[in-house]
Amino acid sequence: MEHRALPRLAAPAVAALLAVTTACTGGTVQGRPGASGLRDPYFPKAGNGGYQVEHYALDLDYDPADGVLHGRAVITARAEQGLSSFNLDLSGLHVEGVDVDGEGARFNRTGNELTVRPADDVKKGRVFRTEVVYSGRPKALTDADGSREGWITGEAGAVGVGEPVGSMTWFPGNHHPSDKAAYDITIRVPRGYEAVSNGELRFRTEGADGRTQFAWHSPEPMASYLATAVVGPYKVTTGRTPSGVAVYNAVSPEEAAASEPTLARLPEMVEWGSGRFGPYPFGTAGAVVLPAGTLAYALETQTKPVYPGAPGDESLVLHELAHQWFGNSVSPKSWKDMWLNEGFATYAEWLWDEDHGGPTAQEHFDALLAGDTDVDEAADAGWDAFPPADPPGPEDISASPVYQRGAMVLQRIRQEVGDEKFFGLVRGWAADHRHGNASTADFTAYAEERTGHDLKKVWDVWLYGKARPK
């Protein structure tokens, strides 16, 4: 594993320097520019330094007929240093104006960076409000692995998906998972369309202008890659799980019949997950089933995963649900920690099988070692290509080792410590890092402390070892 100093770690030294300068001149403390990236090992320009966002209020107006988005983002953030300027990530679109604390701010754009210069420096520790008014036709991005993300349009609507950086195509923000915030996303669309986003639907109003407004509220912290906005002629059904979690499903009409059997099991899955991993981390659950052909993958967008057509396989729904604990509530500190998302979600599929008459987790593990695709269809997908905690590059963060070998790491821990300590570890991990961020180093230290076992061999061979484990 590679440790890189984040710019904000260097802040005390610089702050000390500024303090000395101030003492000499007797002037006020001056801000300095916030960093334009967080030096993520795979996406170094993603995110921005110098502040942490507390809340995003996104007001979006979208017309599927011409694909034009009019947006107003109000970003409430806390300055972690004195700021003479700071950056937001935004790809494409036209910025019409930026205000900071109600005063017009200067701004300029280079690549995917929107640099904002407030009229007055923002003092360290201050909570400040940035308003960005923008518009244009948002676009999709193509990732290093060839998959598409960002704002994706279909025949009769659009969807915003953002893993790892695509959310910058539809709103300005601090687009790195280490900066989580609460969200209120309001979407106006022509009458007849549904607009779906994360969290709870606060209200839906029909305007005199022939447009319908949907106000969505996400009180729990969310990484921006998990934000979504979906517009289209969806069929909506609502319900509750037995323990009272609200369920909101929006399904493309042509996928409705095929989606019904698997989505009908979602409430049961939420209850099962709560038993296995601890309380469900959010106030709402659900699903968005896109028209087939819109997207090539499912994504665990917070509280409402999106599916690329009817999820025929219940383990897919279980996988995206498991991310609500692992990835969405406990989020990675950097994209190098992706196995903490995908290894756990894959392992959750194995546990679901184990608890429902399918192969046990040990049988999945053995099948992967033996290449037996009858038991686990991913057994020949190349789980041994690289160690899960050290993908070679950004194009590898969604490859099989991050998923299958990540799950095998968890099974190896279970073999070492036994069921009782293992499930205590899994629940403890979800509870102690609930709504936070954690790294691979946090996990290995936590696992040893929690179970009282020395697990160095598991880390050396399974998590970091380049050779194929036997």
Taking the least distance from each CB to Zn ion, the nearer of 141 and 345 is: 345
Among 95, 321, 345, 430, binds Zn ion (CB under 5 A): 345
Q: Which stretch binds Zn ion (CB under 5 A): 130-138, 193-201, 330-338, 343-351?
A: 343-351
Taking the least distance from each CB to Zn ion, the nearer of 197 and 301 is: 301
Instruction: Specify whether the CB–CB gap between 364 and 386 falls below 8 A.
Output: no
Q: Which stretch binds Zn ion (CB under 5 A): 40-48, 178-186, 215-223, 336-344?
A: 336-344
DSSP strand E in 122-210: where? Answer: 127-136, 140-142, 148-154, 157-161, 181-190, 194-197, 200-206
Q: Which stretch binds Zn ion (CB under 5 A): 174-182, 334-342, 431-439, 440-448?
A: 334-342
- Min separation Cβ 258 and Zn ion, Å: 21
SS3 content of the chain, % helix, strand, coil (to 5): 30, 30, 40
> How far apart, in whole angstroms, are the C-alpha atoms of residue 453 and residue 422?
11
Instruction: Specify whether the CB–CB gap between 160 and 229 falls below 8 A.
Output: yes
CA Rg value for the chain: 23
Per DSSP, the residues of 428-453 read HHHHHTTTEEE-HHHHHHHHHHHH--
- Min separation Cβ 326 and Zn ion, Å: 9
Phi, psi of 440 (to 5 degrees): -60, -40
> How far apart, in whole angstroms, are the C-alpha atoms of residue 69 and residue 157?
12
Instruction: Specify whether the CB–CB gap between 426 and 409 falls below 8 A.
Output: no
Taking the least distance from each CB to Zn ion, the nearer of 185 and 397 is: 397
Q: By Cβ distance, which residue is nearest to Zn ion?
A: 345
Q: Which stretch binds Zn ion (CB under 5 A): 20-28, 62-70, 252-260, 341-349?
A: 341-349
Taking the least distance from each CB to Zn ion, the nearer of 6 and 345 is: 345
Contacts of 425 (CB under 8 A, 6+ apart): 413, 417, 446, 447, 450, 451
Q: Which stretch binds Zn ion (CB under 5 A): 84-92, 208-216, 222-230, 339-347?
A: 339-347
Contacts of 379 (CB under 8 A, 6+ apart): 367, 368, 370, 371, 372, 373
Residue at token pair 């984040």: 6
Q: How many CA atoms lie within 13 A of 26 on its CB side?
A: 0
# of chain residues touching Zn ion (CB under 5 A): 2
Taking the least distance from each CB to Zn ion, the nearer of 157 and 305 is: 305
Q: Which of 382, 414, 423, 418 is nearest to 400 (CA)?
A: 382
| x/- letters, 362..381, toward Zn ion (CB under 5 A) | --------------------
- Min separation Cβ 315 and Zn ion, Å: 11
- Min separation Cβ 141 and Zn ion, Å: 19
409 near Zn ion, rule: CB under 5 A: no
- Min separation Cβ 323 and Zn ion, Å: 6
Instruction: Specify whether the CB–CB gap between 191 and 226 falls below 8 A.
Output: no
Q: Which stretch binds Zn ion (CB under 5 A): 26-34, 64-72, 335-343, 379-387?
A: 335-343
Taking the least distance from each CB to Zn ion, the nearer of 314 and 342 is: 342
Contacts of 338 (CB under 8 A, 6+ apart): 332, 391, 397, 398, 402
- Min separation Cβ 342 and Zn ion, Å: 5
Q: Which of 196, 181, 144, 184 is nearest to 165 (CA)?
A: 144
Instruction: Specify whether the CB–CB gap between 216 and 248 falls below 8 A.
Output: no
- Min separation Cβ 305 and Zn ion, Å: 9
- Min separation Cβ 337 and Zn ion, Å: 13
- Min separation Cβ 345 and Zn ion, Å: 4
Instruction: Specify whether the CB–CB gap between 180 and 149 falls below 8 A.
Output: no
Taking the least distance from each CB to Zn ion, the nearer of 319 and 414 is: 319
- Min separation Cβ 385 and Zn ion, Å: 18
One-letter amino acid of 278: G
> Residue 171 to residues 64, 75, 166: CA-CA distances in angstroms?
17, 10, 10
- Min separation Cβ 407 and Zn ion, Å: 11
Taking the least distance from each CB to Zn ion, the nearer of 145 and 460 is: 145
- Interface residues toward Zn ion, by CB under 5 A: 342, 345
